[in-house]
Structure 1
């Protein structure tokens, strides 16, 4: 236990030399006014990043000296996978819109460009009905990135950790949430599992192959394979909401995977990539690093047609993802679109639409494929942020015994909320709340006590830069 704590402490202590893409004051930069398309790898000393530039579509590329601007971006931080703005990088090797807001403490340590972000959220949770529960808990995340030129390319190191295991192995109450286990024997139902202490320890290397073309490799233990949209806790449309989506295990549950190797190519605004990874979900031991297996695969195509839009489609084969059903494999297919609209200083709107499909093979857990749909938005307007999320999906894990065991039900959920931010230097303190309602078929209403209402109030301390 002491060894795990020391490793986690070292990862957190390295944050001046680490981070990823959510830690810069949203209001410090009007990303919509920046020419993300014209930005490439490298640093341009003394550049005032708050100075508006022409939109990418209006830039006179012929008049630009691309050689002198090669590898240029904020504070020396560049796109980890190729010649684009680092603002496009999101969780794992996923992409978000170039204009997406970003919060970061950025700096330099020797020859390394560094960035750090993180948050601590204290929540009082009330889940209604006979299958609901109440709990006060704290969720946390601290992530860092360090980057250095190497051999004509770019080396990027990333580390992310969480103290979520302190909330207990059963996580927190969340109606209709399913997935993973608290004790290795029973499934978590109507509860959201805690994240592992080690969420990402990864390195990537990219190298130019030609004009606006680069190749890259990524390795993580743990890491995130090329499967699904940007993880909910890393996309602006989802990070404001302290609830995990009930569609998580159809879209982005592989964001903590113990053993990932990805290779791909970036050509302009298109990225093609493939991964070998461990299909098994994290077990109930949240403090350890599990054995990599590399028994599964995935492929993803991403396209950012404009600075405000990011699209992806992906497919993967997950070998024995659930420890309680080791004979069952899953083919997962996802598609998503994230649209971001900068509205001015400290103002931004982002919406994500996503679909995921799990098609099991082998075993006797589920007989047919299930689908999940998600639509979420977040609007920041100065110190206020409002958010909403609607989901619809097929759930076959709501009962582990009795006459309803194994039956698949189509359920829905709608959450609405908001918070007010108080800036304090390089951090902000948020005060907010949300209300959630679920939609159930008639068969489930007696079990859930109708269609109960749930809610959360929360206080969040987050790095803003």
Structure 2
């Protein structure tokens, strides 16, 4: 799925106004009476600015800008965000292909004080199932299946219709501390950085990262319960969740035992930085490999700073490792985006991945290859209504494969391009 709100943490405002300059002290979070700006509101999970909250229970820098339409109804604050993206995708060589598809998301969030804490409800839907079970062509991407029998290779799988249906409740433990519980069917466990379609550094790109299954593929786990403790700018949390990835049926709600575990430590040392380290033990995550478990670790750093009156610059560096049956596979990601003015956003990403699914064997995974991808793109937005933007964008990606794979990917360097249009609520 392409760009979206950093899920559930919308700084609902009707303009593109950026946060104040980074040399200013952080304002103290406080309860939000009517009329208070969203960049002064307290988060749903703790006594910090709402702008810190990203997908699931993950954190991003406090300086992150957000947009959403928000409505006050008594004690409830209701927020809406969404975008629909039409993409034409062209991937080179015998493993590539051309396809037009629609992606995006629609999200609603409702939040209110309740007792001694804060209640939040979220729902997020995706049009991805309309792509068909095989998703879209994307060189070097692997993971999941279109038919329950063979793995998807050089394609990005679609997300399910229901991307998040969750609830959370946080208890205040003092001026700078809280405890919270989060549950989702589906939802996102405490692993990795914010999911890629919610990271400001690349959320405007319609192209999924090839490192998705190392860092953030758990963001639509069908069954999650997370408990956490926030003390100042630190957060420690643990999740029990259903480790099995969604199957090829994209319109249903799946269930399963909460058999997997994740633990994450997050730290926001300043309003411009968000750091995390996490670990997960997943029980039989792959539908085509029942009984094969995976162990994952990840670490990431996100830096975000305002640019001018209406812009920003955000960069994410992340590393992830998947370990299974004695084999360790690493993924490295560096992505950055800059919005120099309200109309333009320029985004880029570089990845290096160890992948043993590119040449699947009959009874086992194939050999591991180190591959890479770099992409560069841009989008221009025009306001077409008080709360609606129309965008036109494109990107180009260059893929890097070792000599042993060159014949499989064609005589020229493999590459891909996407052109896209977008309607976005603001």
> What is aligned with 1:426?
387
CA distance in 1, matches of 2:30, 2:155: 43
**Structure 1: which 4+ aligned runs deviate by more than 3 Å?**
22-26, 29-37, 44-47, 401-405
CA distance in 1, matches of 2:23, 2:422: 29
Confirm whether residue 280 of structure 1 aligns to residue 244 of structure 2: yes
> What is aligned with 1:43?
32
Confirm whether residue 298 of structure 1 aligns to residue 259 of structure 2: no
Larger radius of gyration: 1
Say which SS state the counterpart of residue 249 (structure 1) adopts.
Answer: helix
> What is aligned with 1:377?
336
Greater fraction of residues in helix: 1
> What is aligned with 2:400?
439
Verify the 8 A CA contact 1:23 1:463 in the aligned structure 2: no
CA distance in 2, matches of 1:265, 1:276: 16
CA distance in 2, matches of 1:19, 1:303: 19
CA distance in 2, matches of 1:401, 1:331: 22
Confirm whether residue 397 of structure 1 aligns to residue 352 of structure 2: no
Verify the 8 A CA contact 1:36 1:85 in the aligned structure 2: no
CA distance in 2, matches of 1:147, 1:428: 26
| TM-score using structure 2 length | 0.94
> What is aligned with 2:3?
none
Give the Å deviation of 1:384: 1.0
Verify the 8 A CA contact 1:20 1:116 in the aligned structure 2: no
Q: Which runs of 5+ in 2 are unaligned?
A: 1-6
| Mapping of residues 7-406 of structure 1, within 5 Å | 20-21=9-10, 24=13, 27-32=16-21, 37-47=26-36, 49=37, 78-361=42-325, 367-382=326-341, 383-401=343-361, 406=366
Say which SS state the counterpart of residue 398 (structure 1) adopts.
Answer: coil
Using the TM superposition, name which of 333-342 and 425-434 deviates more.
425-434
Alpha-carbon deviations, 1:190-227, whole Å to 9, x = none?
A: 00000000011001100111230110000001100000
Say which SS state the counterpart of residue 202 (structure 2) adopts.
Answer: helix
| TM-score using structure 1 length | 0.86
Q: Which runs of 5+ in 1 are unaligned?
A: 1-17, 50-72, 362-366
Give the Å deviation of 1:405: 5.6
Alpha-carbon deviations, 1:310-331, whole Å to 9, x = none?
A: 0000001000000100121001
Q: RMSD between aligned alpha carbons?
A: 1.9
Alpha-carbon deviations, 1:359-399, whole Å to 9, x = none?
A: 113xxxxx511000000000012111111000001010012
Give the Å deviation of 1:34: 10
Verify the 8 A CA contact 2:61 2:304 in the aligned structure 1: yes
Using the TM superposition, name which of 245-254 and 232-241 deviates more.
232-241
> What is aligned with 1:70?
none
Give the Å deviation of 1:27: 2.2
